[in-house]
């Protein structure tokens, strides 16, 4: 099974990490991951509303604006690049630059 993210084909195995990615090729993947996380949060909210219709218990709503994204950046030789700062990254959602609040 493959997961398609833009022009990337990733094996759907839990231990997969890309070995050769430049900074510019990692950014679209980060944006796609952020979008997937956001969709998961929306879907979880929909499931909660279905439960509310079936029950007259207390209502509990949760909304999050913080999405955690983990990244491994490697150089052309596949070596991990360390000591990056948040200024080294761009995070896009729907082609709009998003603020990186915590790093």
Residue 34: pLDDT band with limits 50, 70, 90: confident
Question: 79 vs 12, which has greater pLDDT?
Answer: 79
**What is the rounded CA–CA span in Å between residue 79 and residue 74?**
5
Q: What is the reported pTM?
A: 0.35
pLDDT, position 41: 78
pLDDT, position 77: 92
Q: Are 23 and 73 in contact (CB under 8 A)?
A: yes
pLDDT, position 59: 80
Q: Which residues contact 23 (CB under 8 A, 6 or more apart)?
A: 73, 81, 88
pLDDT at 90 exceeding the cut of 80: yes
- Give the chain's length: 103
Least confident of 36-40, 55-59, 91-95, 98-102: 55-59
Where do the DSSP E strands lie in the chain?
Answer: 2-5, 8-11, 91-93, 96-98
**What is the rounded CA–CA span in Å between residue 95 and residue 5?**
15
- Residue 19, sorted as left (phi over 0), alpha (psi -120 to 50) or beta, turns out to be alpha
Q: Are 21 and 73 in contact (CB under 8 A)?
A: yes
Instruction: Read off the pLDDT of residues 45-86 as tens digits, 9 standing for 90 and up.
Output: 655 555 555 556 788 788 777 788 888 899 999 999 999 888
Average pLDDT, the chain: 73
């Amino acid at each position: 099974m493959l997961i398609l993210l833009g022009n990337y084909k990733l094996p759907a195995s839990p231990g997969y990490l890309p070995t050769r990615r430049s900074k510019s090729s990692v950014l679209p993947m980060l944006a796609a991951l952020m979008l997937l996380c956001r969709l998961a949060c929306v879907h979880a909210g929909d499931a909660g509303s279905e439960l509310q219709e079936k029950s007259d218990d207390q209502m509990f709503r949760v909304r999050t604006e913080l999405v955690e994204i983990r990244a491994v950046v490697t150089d052309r030789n596949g070596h991990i690049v360390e000591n990056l700062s948040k200024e080294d990254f761009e995070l896009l959602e729907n082609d709009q630059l998003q603020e990186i609040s915590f790093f």
